[in-house]
A and B are shown apart, each in its own frame.
Chain A
Amino acid sequence: MTQVMAKTAPQATSAQAGDTLVEIRDLEKHFPLSGDFLEQLRFKGGKLVRRQEFVHAINGVDIDVRRGESLCVVGESGCGKSTVARMVMGLLHPTGGEIRYDGQRIDNLSPRQLLPYRRRMQMIFQNPYASLNPRMTIQQTLEEPLRFHHPDWKTPQIRDKVAEVMDSVGIDPEWGKRFGHEFSGGQRQRIAIARALAVDPEFIVADEPISALDVSIQAQVLNLLMDAQETHHLTYLFITHDLAVVEHFGTRVVVMYLGRVCEVAETRTLFSTPRHPYTQALLSAIPRLEDDRPDYIRLEGEVPTPVNLPSGCVFHGRCPHANERCRREVPQLIAAESTQVACHAVEEGRL
């Protein structure tokens, strides 16, 4: 059944802005930690025992990406934000749950069936020094996705398209003959953006696209991403740890902690009235230029290891408002006024 639908799906349905483009339901990803079968065997009490351990990177995540928005996913390192991005792109296979793109389930498709979706969704990676092939010229780098996704195009048509995208991201088409290493970080990231835009996608997953860049260059690349969104009607899934960027760039924000979603809200709501204790701590830790900010919220301890997840709410060990129920019961995302929060304290009205 899925095969039939996949073949007809690529033509974008002319849906209005605001409806769900990507739907992530109950997503789980566990990475095996204990190696292959033989390495899992242990000799214990005179018997061979097989022991398996997993990194619980994602544990039941629900995210909706609406058409035309820039959904930002924030969290500290190890919270699973990049893993979500990679699973949406089909670069990793989920252990459980579903990912739907435009209503069509994509997480169980074969690579061939996924092909038409690959043209519609593109990815921009964090490190532009690693994401450009050092042995290809810029021209080749930008032509490759076009030749792959449009096998029927003739060379002049491809050349025209490449010149067009280079122009749109502010790279001189003359630079096409050069190699990636001849460019600065900001220019390389422009090239990576051009490569993503070349096949006219509608959905772009950007995994920390500006973290490796300098402040003045960050502004250039962010502006470029916002311009591209306007001209190409893009939807972004923007992964970042930089909350100042989120505040500026995102329409909605998903806050993640240890493979779970803590809070989902409109950007303005989240920054003015954060509900989840973790979000509050995170926001208070941003170094601001102002002199008179209140002291930041000190969190006890460190992020626990995702190998042995804490019981109940994953945040309870560091949460100043945790009680017995938090230690026992996993909180579900519930609507609290205009936001969605996964916190017992908010649900019970203690916070």
Chain B
Amino acid sequence: MRAVIKDSIGVFHPQGFLDGASSASLLSIEDIEQTVKSNASMILVSLKKVIFFNRNGLDTFVKMFQKVRIANHITVGFCDYDKKKYNAIKKFYNDDVNFSLFKTQKIASLFSASFKEKNQNILLFSDDKSQRAALAIELHDNGHNPIVAQTQKEFLQKAEVKDAYDIIIEDTFLGQMGQQVATRVTGNAIIYTLSSFLDAEIGNTFNIAYHNNSLNVGFRLFIFDVYKVVSMNIHALNFFSKLASSAAEYNATLCFIGMSFDKTPILFKETLEDSGMMFFNQMDDILQNKELLDELGASSAVSGKNKRAINKVLVTELPNFIDATVTTIEMMTNSKAVKDAAKVNKIEITDQSDKIASSIGFYGDIDGMIMLVFPLGIAKKACELLIGESTEDKELILDTLAELVNIVGGKVKTLLADEHISVNITLPRTYQDMNGLLEVAEGKKGVQVDLSFDNDKFLFFLTR
């Protein structure tokens, strides 16, 4: 089957009934690869003319999607469906949807960078809070103006207003688009999810470079969600022991949540505990316990290793970094930025009150870290756009700020790629006051750029 390619989106249009057997005959991996070669940045299967599908039918496509997504870093999924089909897909895959769902092709095109009609007014809603944020960010990143409804009720009310929006988005889901080893949660802990059998293979599947860079950036709590792990063998034991010992050098903590020792020798638990690994039965034992969370290092950071100075490569790339940051913040706050000063030194924050910060690391051809210090006012303004209304909830602001820094990171990655410098980015980290940030940045030399947004001062710090 051939795809129709428009706006860099390759869409396949199967028709009739989809089950395991027919799907495999309709579409082959070669068909998809051919489409990718024609410069498609998104591969979708339209369900418009599909009257019946079952899980097996979709699975055949999903398996092929996985392959091309991992090999080409493109968005994959389904489009053109009604509510009934959307609910059926969500039900088939429970909470484990690792592809994207776009209600229409038009909606999908809004998420494609090559879409020509920018500046669309878009009303959007999803039951899932993180989906709402992800959708809004992506749309913003593509030059649109998203308005996020926080509740179904609000959504329906807003949607009733005729001609108020160019497009209304619902029943849409953004699946994994890039990094898939970790999930960030409030409290600056990184959660890795593992399943089935842990053996020597873990050394290949676990992204160690990513993990080390997360340590460098200042993450101090790493949680392994192992509810779905059946058993662990000696090779995996060695791997995790080493991981835990090396984390200890950074003062970081590694935890296993929900590990069952039915099929794993209980002796392994002792070995892991000796190397510093902690065990908990449930995720909430940690995440709902703020004191424990603080104690385990989720908000403190003493960076013992690698006080590396800024180097020439980073300085050469500086304009790119500043560009990415400034345009993103300008876009989000609807204001103009003016560059005040730039100097190479240790970070210097004159007025530390009422400021929050976030940081994101990058690694690959060049390594480094970007830190952004926001006055609470600017942060609130930026968040207003993503949340859809003003808020005083500091945790919510920090969360949104993390997403904002994520966008900056993504932009930097793209800009560097244009210069043939390939980097990956870590998850963003947030700091609710300057003490936490200074602990990480202490002693590090870097480039500091002071910026003014209207009357607010804003600080950009690039270091290694």
| A and B are partners in one complex rather than unrelated chains | no
